[in-house]
């Protein structure tokens, strides 16, 4: 619920929307870093949308952050659905969509706000994302070409020409240079409210993954610029790769990529991409099975076989919640 007298207070310059699911400790750190970063800049609206966490997140927010507006869902609305709930509840002229596993460094929020105020043609700005050890995460992209859709983030990626991937990841330009880009990854995106009013909110047919790609494409198609702003830095505690494969993440990621291909390149391209990815999962299931047969790390192989088989059974057409451990 909104804090007391929120409706009577003047609209803040900035609203921060965070969608959270079972990451109580990280969310707590994120909120504190927001408040610390903005403490000298006046009114600030923070909205937490909780997607039915069972780790005490709701109670933590209610007791430790009474000024934060909390939307406690009784179901998992997904990353897009939760963010759209927060956007609808927000009142700021500018809106920051922020992952709960982030920490704001120094004056990053004010730097992003200042940039948008000084550049009226820019509709959305993304900061530089850092790993906890201070190394940089790749967060700026060009729109994916058809070869990129078929090769990037698949087992076939090693077959892709290096220059093709380098262009997609904008590697020819310094990561310390402020620059126009096609899209930025969705851990932190600051957008003007009038841009949202113009192009619409996130497309909820993307339950999770590729939603920021689709949004940025619509924003650019409407004539707005998108900027990567490295002077604004935000730490992103991105999930580490592990040997324990979570099937839902595979399903969401790949089905969202297929949905994007269908939306912008047509049904037949989407069908071809689905078939290509399914073949890769079938092949990897066979590979893991052979490794299991020769006795190589059998527990790991069995886990991967189960996970890949769940992906295959899904048909890669998932657009809603899966009963699994997928995260936001």
181: DSSP letter: -
Q: Tell me, yes or no, whether 133 lies in a domain.
A: yes
The pLDDT mean for the chain works out to: 91
| Last residue of one domain, picked from the residues 207, 236, 265 | 236
The model carries a pTM of 0.90
* Any domain includes 242: no
Which range marks the domain in which residue 278 is found? 247-314
pLDDT given at position 320:
58
pLDDT in tens, 204-240: 999 889 999 999 999 999 999 999 999 999 999 875 3
CA–CA–CA angle 236, 242, 244 (5° rounding)? 130
pLDDT-flagged residues of the chain (< 50): 240-245, 324-328
Whether 282 and 185 map to the same domain: the answer is no
Buried b (16+ CB within 10 A) or exposed e, 91-121: bbbbbbbbbbbbbbbebbbbbbbebbeeeee
Tell whether 174 and 124 lie within a shared domain.
yes
C-alpha to C-alpha distance for 91 and 185, rounded to whole angstroms: 24
Number of domains in the chain: 2
- pLDDT digits over 190-209, tens only? 999 999 999 999 999 998 89
Q: How far apart are CA 219 and CA 191, in angstroms?
A: 10
Q: How many CB atoms lie within 10 A of CB 14?
A: 24
CA 25 centroid distance within chain: 19
Check whether residue 267 and residue 214 sit in a common domain: no
pLDDT of residue 257: 96
């Amino acid at each position: 619920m909104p804090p007391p007298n929120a409706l009577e207070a003047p609209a803040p310059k900035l609203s921060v929307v965070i969608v959270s699911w079972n990451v109580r400790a990280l969310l707590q750190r994120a909120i504190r870093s927001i408040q610390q970063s903005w403490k000298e800049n006046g009114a600030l609206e923070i909205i937490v949308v909780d997607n039915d966490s069972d780790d005490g997140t709701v109670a933590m927010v209610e007791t430790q952050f009474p000024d934060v507006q909390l939307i406690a869902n009784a179901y998992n609305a997904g990353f897009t659905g939760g963010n759209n709930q927060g956007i609808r509840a927000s009142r700021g002229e500018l809106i920051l969509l922020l992952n709960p596993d982030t920490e704001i460094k120094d004056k990053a929020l004010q730097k992003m706000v200042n940039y948008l105020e000084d550049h009226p043609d820019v509709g959305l700005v993304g900061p530089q994302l850092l790993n906890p050890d201070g190394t940089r995460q790749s967060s700026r992209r060009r729109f994916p070409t058809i070869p990129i859709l078929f090769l990037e983030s698949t087992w076939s990626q090693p077959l892709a020409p290096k220059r093709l991937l380098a262009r997609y990841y904008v590697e020819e330009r310094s990561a310390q240079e402020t620059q126009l880009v096609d899209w930025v990854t969705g851990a932190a995106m600051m957008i003007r409210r009038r841009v949202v009013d113009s192009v619409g909110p996130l497309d909820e047919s993307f339950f999770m993954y590729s939603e920021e790609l689709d949004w940025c494409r619509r924003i650019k198609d409407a004539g707005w610029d998108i900027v990567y702003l490295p002077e604004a830095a935000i730490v992103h505690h991105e999930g580490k790769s592990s040997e324990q494969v979570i099937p839902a993440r595979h399903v969401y990621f790949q089905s969202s990529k297929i949905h994007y291909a269908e939306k912008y390149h047509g049904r037949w391209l989407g069908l071809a991409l689905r078939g290509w990815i399914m073949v890769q999962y079938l092949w990897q299931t066979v590979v893991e099975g052979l490794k299991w047969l020769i006795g190589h790390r059998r527990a790991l192989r069995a886990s991967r076989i189960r996970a890949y088989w769940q992906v295959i059974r899904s048909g890669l057409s998932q657009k809603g919640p899966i009963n699994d451990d997928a995260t936001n």
